[in-house]
Structure 1
Amino acid sequence: MSAQATSSAYDTRTRILDLGEQFMLARGFNAFSYQHIAKELEVKPAAIHYHFPSKEDLGVAIIRRQLNRLHKWRGLPRVTELTPTQQFDALLEVYHGRVTERQQVCFFGALAADFQTLPEAMQQELRTFTTELTEWVAGVLAAGREAGTMHFRGHPVSKASQVLTTLAGALQVARVYDARQYERIVAQLRTELLEPA
């Protein structure tokens, strides 16, 4: 296969992943089909099946790509060299991007509602992603508390779960109302974590 053909196949695969992710974050995994992607790409559904034989394969690939993004993001010098408080704000900025990008929800929010109907492989990938994200946030919170810049009671992992659940819910609320509701929830979260009692 020529380099040009390989590049073209890669580009098509990436575009399928991008569209699948957009549909999933906007509608949920069960609310779109290969027909939707094919229509956007102006190709036949068979072209989608060439890269991802089943929708389960596509779903797994989307979540794994997001996990890879998490790994790269948290390892960037511009993140690792930040203080715990700054790392927390960097995380909030990622979630804020969902509000401004066509009112999308986060991966957890997009898939949790459909979780019982998701293929087992996708369920496991989502658990892996959520666990790793929770552990990273817990580490940030623990470091912040030790530095005296974050204030909370209880175990850091439990607090991290609460924080992520709050952020996921805030994105859902923003869909119903507007971004101002999201901002109010996040402002309250920052107040409770960053200001001494």
Structure 2
Amino acid sequence: MPRRPTLEFWFEFASTYSYLAAMRIEALAEEAGVGLRWRPFLLGPIFAGQGWTTSPFNLFPAKGRAMWRDLAREAARLGLPPIRRPADFPQNSLAAARVASYGADQPWIGPFTRAVFEAEFARGQSIAEPAAISALLNGLGLDGPAILKAATSEPNKSRLRVVGEEAKSRGIFGAPTFLTEDGELFWGNDRLEQALAWATGDRPPGLA
């Protein structure tokens, strides 16, 4: 059997469009015959490097209003629950990112990622508190306290910081971002299908 190509899925739990991508990427990748590498990271340091102290959707109100309306349209189109905006946006996603970083290679990474995003954008709940993340893990039949303890160990915290530096070095500036094995970068939920096609060798004519 030929080796399946792999697509890296770089996502940030505070990102609205990462939510849309996370809810559909596994099924689409399986259909395309593409393996997934889950790459949770934090956008905050990247934004800070650009001189931003918060999301550009907050810095530019017109852009923010358009985004929330677009998010509602896209959620409806994809058959997802109506969007419920959390009280704080963007949320502090550190606890969730640490857990996802710890479990990135575990079979529960997909269900966990979707559970966090559903809590945040389908139910409008806070994901900032470690207790909330632990409860979501428990809801998946996992040992929330034990995983949270491992996720907050120094080696795992260091791992997340290294991943953040890798994101910057590879030119990632937003989420979601999809990277193919040959280094082609696709940014945004609306580029997911194109990223999967590129990963399988289906490229537009004239592009190597």
Relative to the length of structure 2, the TM-score reads 0.27
Relative to the length of structure 1, the TM-score reads 0.28
Instruction: Considering fraction of residues, name the structure with more strand.
Output: 2
Q: Which has the larger Rg? A: 1
